[in-house]
Amino acid sequence: MEILWFLIAMGMLAAVVVPYVRRRNGGGIRLTHPDAPDAADPADYGFVRQEELDIRVPGPDRDLMDVLELVQRSQDWRAASQLLAGTPKEGEVRWQRVQAFAGAASLELAQRPGVGAAWLRTWRLESPKDAGGAQVHAEFLVQQAWRASGGVGSEDHRIILEEARTACDEAALLAPGDPVPHITQLAVARGLAYPEAEFDALWAKVIDRAPEHMGAHLAALHYWCEKWHGSREKADAFTHAAAARAPRGSLLAALPLFGVFEHLPDIALVQDFYGSAVVSRAMEGALYAVHAARPDDPMLAHVRHLLILFLVRGERWAEAMEQIRHVDGYVGALPWSHSEDPAAEYAVYRALAVAGYEANGGSPATLPH
């Protein structure tokens, strides 16, 4: 399935990119409009160079970045513990920070097997009752399971997810009322194929604590999208029900677009797919959600990143550029995080947006700041 998605994506990108690509003397690739050589350069818009894009987070969180850099440099976990202790359990920020710490530890261990992420092991040994440390450890195990040798469905994958399940239960006991351990367990439910009744009981704990948590809904969507949990209709029903009950200002109105994205490998070959009614409605719902959301909503960047893919595919260049303007510099979100090289994947779409924007009369001077 992943190979099919890759081939589809590359074929569609090649069809759009080829007329606009020329190789520069320095060896880099730059997109241009045929009638205006070298015009379509993302650097002209002040966008961040590909090698400087931050793949860890979807948008800026200076406190998190400062602490993460300190922890990784010093291998002292205390700053991470203090940051999480001061992060309210309500809302999305705590969940994102737990994910970021766990992701950093997982990447460290992958880069330095047996040595990396020593700070997380020390954190758990020296402060086993620390709720933040327990939550990061549980999320770390989930991420390790998806990296496990043998891949999804392997014995290693199952064993690590069973350990993660226990870690989630322990983390929940240390922080009553905090939705994060239960949200993390939604990924365990997906990997271990919880029966629907068991999943429903877990989901009830989540929505009891955080009924409008966008991250939780995305994690639940992944469960419903797995092949062994019924047809695409169940996932669609879940996303549309959540969007329908979302209050004004909630990004849950964008959830159907994430549902469409989850099923792209199954339906992307439909003629004029990106102009179809299903995709258009999902895109308009996401754009409405973005315009109505609070500017400081921590999930706003997630929706903008996904919109970039659909807007570029739909050749809605000016709207794509508007989303890029808000999120450029950070690529730690879907759809880029599905790629082995998120920065490169994002950079291709960004370059396509610039090329299309300029081919239709746009320029750095016409893009709002």
In a domain, 313, yes or no: yes
pLDDT (0 to 100) of residue 39: 46
> Does residue 96 sit in the same domain as residue 186?
yes
What are the structure tokens assigned to 24, written together? 């520069």
In a domain, 131, yes or no: yes
The β-bridge partners of 330 are 54
Q: Please list the helix, strand and coil fractions of the chain in percent, rounded to the nearest 5, in that order.
A: 65, 5, 30
> Does residue 246 sit in the same domain as residue 306?
yes
> Does residue 274 sit in the same domain as residue 357?
yes
| Confidence bin at 80 (pLDDT 50/70/90) | very high
d(CA 224, CA 196): 9
> Does residue 236 sit in the same domain as residue 113?
no
Question: Do 320 and 312 contact (CB within 8 A), yes or no?
Answer: yes
> Does residue 329 sit in the same domain as residue 359?
yes
> Does residue 284 sit in the same domain as residue 299?
yes
In a domain, 202, yes or no: yes
Q: Which uninterrupted H or E stretch holds 30?
A: strand 29-31
What are the structure tokens assigned to 304, written together? 């903008």
Residue ending a domain, choose from 179, 210, 241: 210
> Does residue 29 sit in the same domain as residue 50?
yes
> Does residue 168 sit in the same domain as residue 50?
no
pLDDT (0 to 100) of residue 184: 97
d(CA 80, CA 66): 10
Q: What is the pLDDT of residues 234-265, one digit of tens each?
A: 888 899 999 999 888 999 999 999 999 988 75
pLDDT (0 to 100) of residue 368: 83
Question: Do 329 and 54 contact (CB within 8 A), yes or no?
Answer: yes
| Confidence bin at 231 (pLDDT 50/70/90) | low
Say how many domains are in the chain: 2
Helix (H, G, I), strand (E, B) or coil at 251: helix
Residue 206 belongs to a domain with what CATH number?
1.25.40.10
In a domain, 84, yes or no: yes
State what percent of residues in the chain have pLDDT above 90: 69
Q: What is the pLDDT of residues 95-125, one digit of tens each?
A: 999 999 999 999 899 899 988 899 999 999 9
State what percent of residues in the chain have pLDDT above 70: 85
pLDDT (0 to 100) of residue 369: 76
pLDDT (0 to 100) of residue 35: 39
Question: Do 320 and 365 contact (CB within 8 A), yes or no?
Answer: no
Handedness of CA 174, 176, 180, 183 (dihedral sign): positive
Which residues contact residue 269 at a Cβ distance below 8 angstroms, ignoring those fewer than 6 apart?
8
In a domain, 295, yes or no: yes
In a domain, 220, yes or no: no
- DSSP per residue, 323-347: HHHHHTTB--STTGGGSSSHHHHHH
> Does residue 247 sit in the same domain as residue 328?
yes
Q: Which uninterrupted H or E stretch holds 23?
A: strand 21-23
> Does residue 33 sit in the same domain as residue 77?
no
pLDDT (0 to 100) of residue 284: 95
| Confidence bin at 28 (pLDDT 50/70/90) | very low
335 prior amide bond cis, ω within 30:
yes
In a domain, 221, yes or no: no
What are the structure tokens assigned to 17, written together? 């990119």
d(CA 104, CA 86): 20
Mean pLDDT, all residues of the chain: 86
Domain encompassing residue 261: 1-60+231-369
> Does residue 274 sit in the same domain as residue 346?
yes
d(CA 12, CA 10): 5
Q: What is the mean pLDDT of residues 33-59?
A: 77
Q: What is the pLDDT of residues 2-17, one digit of tens each?
A: 333 333 344 444 444 4
User: Which residue would you say has higher pLDDT here, 325 or 269?
Assistant: 325
pLDDT (0 to 100) of residue 318: 96
In a domain, 223, yes or no: no
Angle at 72 between CA 67 and CA 78, to 5 degrees: 55
> Does residue 25 sit in the same domain as residue 150?
no
Q: What is the mean pLDDT of residues 84-102?
A: 93
